[in-house]
Chain A
Amino acid sequence: NAGVTQTPKFRILKIGQSMTLQCTQDMNHNYMYWYRQDPGMGLKLIYYSVGAGITDKGEVPNGYNVSRSTTEDFPLRLELAAPSQTSVYFCASSLTGINQPQHFGDGTRLSIL
């Protein structure tokens, strides 16, 4: 019973590089989310999706893009990485809505140098 799986767990990028953080869930949840957690802070919502083909911005979407072609997968793309995007990124999912319990992945620690 895998739940929410994120890859990679760690990554170092150079300024200006691009990369995709992968997230997949096997619980058939409709809602999926991407958060970032900066040191000493709570999580901030980057993007979310209410189902395949539907995505919307969260509180801090600038510098990121998402897509949701299947129920299971919700990748997060960083274009032109900047030092301000150094953070821990969490993917989460919930069954029917943002007010329902969210299940989180283990996170991806991303450093941009």
Chain B
Amino acid sequence: AQTVTQSQPEMSVQEAETVTLSCTYDTSESDYYLFWYKQPPSRQMILVIRQEAYKQQNATENRFSVNFQKAAKSFSLKISDSQLGDAAMYFCAFTSNTGNQFYFGTGTSLTVIP
């Protein structure tokens, strides 16, 4: 079975600073996809970034970037120039290319301090 682990239940960052959220996963698959989703207090899940495991290059989306270490099974999210609107729960998620299941971690609550 696949597992996704987020070891930081809570994190905080000063506005305009950089923060990194950690995620590790366990799988025997070689082809899979990793995601970071954001859940603000409004509750709606929003995709932040998506990484295809066969791509060596780390995905980036504006101020959001990942550090994907396939051998270490690590997928951290870096948020640069943090803004108040970045405050939310962040979930790491995994799906393989062969299965039809989708697994979320338990989330990291990010607070942005003005």
Contact = CB atoms under 8 A, between A and B. Distances in A.
10 contacts: A33-B102, A42-B106, A43-B91, A48-B102, A59-B101, A98-B100, A101-B35, A102-B102, A106-B43, A107-B43
B95 A99 contact: yes
B106 to A, nearest CB: 5
Given A92-B45, A101-B50, A42 B100 contact: no
B31 to A, nearest CB: 9
Contacts of B35: 101
Contacts of B42: 106
Contact of B95 (A43, A92, A98): A98
Interface in B9-39: 33, 35
B104 A58 contact: no
A27 interface: no
B100 A107 contact: no
A23 to B, nearest CB: 14
Interface of B: 4, 33, 35, 42-47, 50, 91, 93, 95, 97, 100-107
Nearest to B32: A99
B102 A40 contact: no
Contacts of A48: 100, 102
Nearest to B31: A99
Contact of A88 (B43, B97, B100, B107): B43
A2 interface: no
Could you say which of B33, B35, B44, B107 has the most chain A C-beta atoms within 10 Å of its C-beta? B44
A45 B102 contact: yes
Contacts of B44: 104-107
Contacts of B102: 33, 45, 48, 58, 98, 102
